[in-house]
Chains A and B, each alone.
Chain A
Amino acid sequence: MDGLVAVGVPLALAIRLVSVVATLMLVRHARACRWVALGASIAASVVTAAVAVHVIGSTSSIDGTLFRHAASETVLGYSVTPLSAWFLTTLSLIAVPVALYSTGYFAHAIAPPRMAAVGAALNAMVGGLEVVFVADGVIAFLCGWEVMTLATAALVATEHESRASRRAAYLFLVMSHVGTGCLLAGFLILGSVAGSLSFAVILSGHVVSGSMRSGVFALFFIGFGVKAGLIPFHVWLPEAHPAAPSSVSAFMSAVLITAGIYGLFKVCAFGLGPPDVNWALAFMSLGTLSAILGVLYALTQTDIKRLLAYSTIENSGIMALGLGAAMMALAHGRHTLATVAVAASLMHVLNHAIFKSLLFLGAGSVVMATGTRHIEHFGGLMRRMPWTGLWFLIGALAISGLPLLNGFPSEWLTFQALLQGFTSTPGLVRLNFPLTAALLALTSALAAACFVRAFGISFLALPRSPAASEAHESPAVMLVPLGFLATLCVVLGLFPGFVLRALGGVTASLPGLQPPAAMMWGGLGMSSALTSFDHVAPVMFGLAFVGGLIGSAALTGRRAVAVRQAPTWGCGGELTPRSEYTATAFSKPVLMIFGAVYRPTRQVDAVAEVSPYFVHEIRYRAEIEPTFERYLYRPLLRGVVRMAGGMKVLQAGSLHAYLAYVLVLAVILLMWLGGTT
């Protein structure tokens, strides 16, 4: 076992590399491609999971080298720290069900000529992500980062005949590279000051100081924020995640986001020395903004995958929020509180990965069965796809942060961190905490509304389109991963104490944090750092709930008379699918109440042929203003284009002009540098 663990990471990466090559060589045999690529993915994920679990259990890092080039003395090493191991566990936990699901899904959804490319890109993406989590130097990190980005872009552009997919891939590439550019700049600044490119040196916290530290922080915040999908860097997320194949979207939303969160943890929060109060405020405010705006936009989407993508932005905001609370606590020297907040954020990383991938895979099944992503064309699927419906319902309950499922514990911990932050920080800045807590409460309640809408309109009542009325249940290979993830949701929701115990080792490995001895409570529950402040044991509530169910059964089950089935009252006419409530109508109250955020525009046309009193058709068009695209990115783009136009003068088109530039530059450089030795 120890031997396997010592070589685990290179072994997993080797498996992936071999499978990429093999998949590309098997380009004519789609079925073989599928099995090779996905089988290798599962195998590599299992190996990585073994390594990660071992590290978390033993709370000691595993180091090694990935690549060594003797001549230039380049060494790309890896170091599986407990923090990396946490993210690797999340990755592997999601990668296995996603791969299993894909064996069924890709057979239906991907055209055979593309299977090789998709399989290879999937393994490249996951492999790149693994390298990102374990890299211990700048070069390895950036190599993994780039491979991950490019593979993801390839996957987003799978259906490249569609203009929307092409645009999504392009937007993703541009924004990712803006982020990568900032990362590169930050790392190079740190590296040039410290004189080394190894993380152990440049992330020790003592490299830069003063305003340079804040500048570097800002660079890394933008770089990792783009990847994590925090507002205002989120514009690529709602385009890219829906465009990719559904199982890939699941992986992207659940795990690829965490690459950004990992960076925020490793560099911004714990790699640049003791955090500044302003940094913590930046994290908390942008996190809260992402959470609120994410869920508000999710509420109005009619494309189910876009809805889930905006919900990812919301949850990403919650993770950033927890981290911000931790940084605020660290800035005031409250180490135990910081530990609670970090644990909350990390727990949410795991929980979000599980229920988001569950929801995306469920959505993928529905999209595959009906052939469309539009919610208003679903309906009545609960009867035709009972298992998918059940698992999706569990996912919807989990993401709404309701007790008994795994969304509740991480939200509970975040609340604890915020409330105790209020009592333990001095000054006016402490008002942030209850305000953030209130906004967090608003977010989770709106998320509940959003997923009542998503689940209810998609699965319940009558089918709203012919496609929905002919939908079939997915094959078993696609249902088993859903069931596994749903079971995990329930188990982790009822027994969050185990997750917390695993997190104890992880938080102890981060600088400035203490292992929270008081966070475990009786093995079944969780408590915050001050045991008397609050504690929760969801399993006991679960028992009470079951008691309530038994009571309700006792009250209503004694009847020997059979249930009478009757048609729903259709107000005197026949009940058709058209009389059902639509998703747009469901979210209309929210749209109107939060109109200042949405700025909706509406256009109603009554089309009449013979006379205006005999209307033949009414056309209704409602649109939400894309605030960030219109007010932030478009002016930015226009400025860049204008600047480029101004610089166009230099591109005279004359070869001689270009050569003259080179000559002038050479003369200047020689005179400047040549005079000094």
Chain B
Amino acid sequence: MTANVLILSAAGMLVSAYLMVGQKALFTTIRLYGLQSLLLAIVATTMAISESRHELLVTAALTVVLKTILIPWFLMRTVDRIGIQREVEPFLNVPVSLLICLGLTVVGYRVSSGFEEGTQQVTHHLIGVALSLLLIGMFLMVTRKKAITQILALLTVENAVFLVAVGVTTGMPLVVEFGIAFDVILAVLVLGILVQRIVGRFESMDVSRLSNLKG
């Protein structure tokens, strides 16, 4: 039962990442990120109950509060303020992007089978999903032009790391988790402010315009 929940949640996270790749509307992308974080919290709660690691409950709560509620709210507010609702054409069109994401997933799963923990079924999926999520997040960062989407991609990468930490290893010390949580908040705040400044300067969130600054 636990195994099923875990595998389903992980799969859900991967699906949400794919959907993020295919999305053009900014609001939907943010909500997809919220969903991803919720699924991560479910993984954490399941691990906490099944292995009676109660500190993971704190982690789950933290994830829900911060990543499912606070950060999406903040990002949506930023988008509101800027007034741009749609993503511009990415560098690669959607079908090609999805194909590449498939390739990255294959890489992630292949690497996962090289690990010792990857021999068990559950952890095999968990590591595979996490690595794929990491690579897809980085890919998103490379191919998207809007700063908000890049922030979301960074957060996806961070979710992937969390997944591995919670699901596979013995978890991180609570101190480290708090530290990471605050790092994430700080990063998002800073990036949010930065996005507003970029828009204020260039009247566009298009990050590729930064190359105008090149000397």
Chain A residues with CB under 8 Å of chain B are 652-656, 659-660, 662-663, 666-667, 670-671, 674-677
Contacts and interface: CB of A to CB of B under 8 A. Distances in A.
Contact of A674 (B110, B139, B210): B110
A264 B135 CA distance: 49
A667 B135 contact: yes
Contact of A676 (B114, B139, B211): B114
Contact of B210 (A654, A670, A677): A654
B211 A671 contact: no
B211 A677 contact: no
12 contacts: A652-B211, A653-B214, A655-B208, A655-B211, A656-B207, A666-B138, A667-B107, A670-B108, A670-B111, A675-B111, A675-B114, A677-B116
Given A653-B214, A656-B142, A671 B110 contact: yes
B211 A675 contact: no
Nearest to A661: B142
Contacts of B111: 670-671, 674-675
Nearest to A676: B114
B142 A660 contact: yes
A660 B100 CA distance: 13
A655 B141 CA distance: 9
A666 B104 CA distance: 11
Contacts of A654: 208, 210-211
A667 B115 CA distance: 16
Contacts of A660: 142
B125 to A, nearest CB: 16
B193 to A, nearest CB: 17
B213 A671 contact: no
Contact of A653 (B91, B143, B145, B210): B210
A662 B139 CA distance: 9
Nearest to A654: B211
A660 B116 CA distance: 30
B15 to A, nearest CB: 21
B138 A659 contact: yes
Interface string B37-75: 000000000000000000000000000000000000000
Contacts of A663: 135, 138-139, 141-142
Nearest to B115: A677
Contacts of A666: 134-135, 138
Interface string B111-142: 11011100000000000000100110011011
Contacts of A652: 211, 214
Contacts of A667: 104, 107, 135
A667 B142 CA distance: 13
A653 B131 contact: no
B210 A655 contact: yes
A666 to B, nearest CB: 6
A633 B77 CA distance: 57
Given A667-B107, A670-B131, A656 B138 contact: no
B92 to A, nearest CB: 11
Contacts of B214: 652-653
A66 B138 CA distance: 45
A644 to B, nearest CB: 14
B11 to A, nearest CB: 21
Interface in B159-215: 207-208, 210-211, 213-214
